[in-house]
Amino acid sequence: MIELTGVPETLLWTLHNRASEALCPDGFIRDEEAARLYRAIDYDYERSFGRPDGSHATRSAMFDEVVSKWMQTHPGGTVVELGCGLETQFQRIDNGQVRWLCVDVPEAIAVRKLFLAPTERCRYIAKAR
C-alpha cells in the first residue's frame, strides 16, 4: 500500500482522475500507462479524493496538444516537467527523440520509480522543497 501525505499524495489524485477517464470506453484520453498504474497501486482513491472527474484528464490532453506541437518543430528537444507525480505524458506522446526531465519532490519520485522506470531519454530528478 502506498502511504503518502500532503503535497506528494496529490500524485494519486491526478492519477485517479486521469486513469478513470482513460478507463471509460468512451473516455476522451487514451492513457494505458495511467490505467496500468491505477490498477497496480493499492489505494482507496475514492475515500481520499471522492468520485473521479475529468479535470486532470482535460488538463493532460491540453498539455499533450501543446507539447506535441512544440515537438514538431523541436523533435530532439528537452521537456522539463515540474511536479511530474505519476503523469504519463512522455509515454503518451513520445516521438522517439525527445528528452524528458521529470522533476518532483523526493517522495513522489520514489513512488514514480516503483511503477515507471526512468530511461535514457526520460530521466527523474528528485528535488527537495
Residue 40 lies in a domain: yes
Instruction: Answer yes or no: is 60 within a domain.
Output: yes
Does residue 63 belong to any structural domain of this protein?
Answer: yes
pLDDT for the residue 8: 78
Whole-number Å distance between alpha carbons of 47 and 83? 23
Q: How far apart are CA 129 and CA 113, in angstroms?
A: 19
Give the structural domain span for 20.
6-126
Number of domains observed in the structure of the chain: 1
With respect to residue 66, please indicate whether it lies within any of the assigned structural domains. Answer: yes
The pLDDT of residue 129 is above 70: no
Residue 98 belongs to a domain: yes
3-class DSSP string for the chain: CCCCCHHHHHHHHHHHHHHHHHHCCCCCCCCHHHHHHHHHCCCCHHHHHCCCCCHHHHHHHHHHHHHHHHHHHCCCCEEEEECCCCCCHHHHHCCCCCEEEEEECHHHHHHHHHHCCCCCCEEEEECCC
Q: In the predicted model, what is the mean pLDDT of the chain?
A: 94
% the chain with pLDDT above 90: 91
Evaluate whether residue 51 is within a structural domain.
Answer: yes
pLDDT per residue over 90-119, tens digit each?
999 999 999 999 999 999 999 999 999 999
| CATH code assigned at 20 | 3.40.50.150
Residue 128 pLDDT: 86
User: 1 lies in a domain?
Assistant: no
Does 72 fall in a domain? yes
Whole-model pTM: value is: 0.91
Place 7 in a pLDDT band, splitting at 50, 70 and 90. Answer: confident
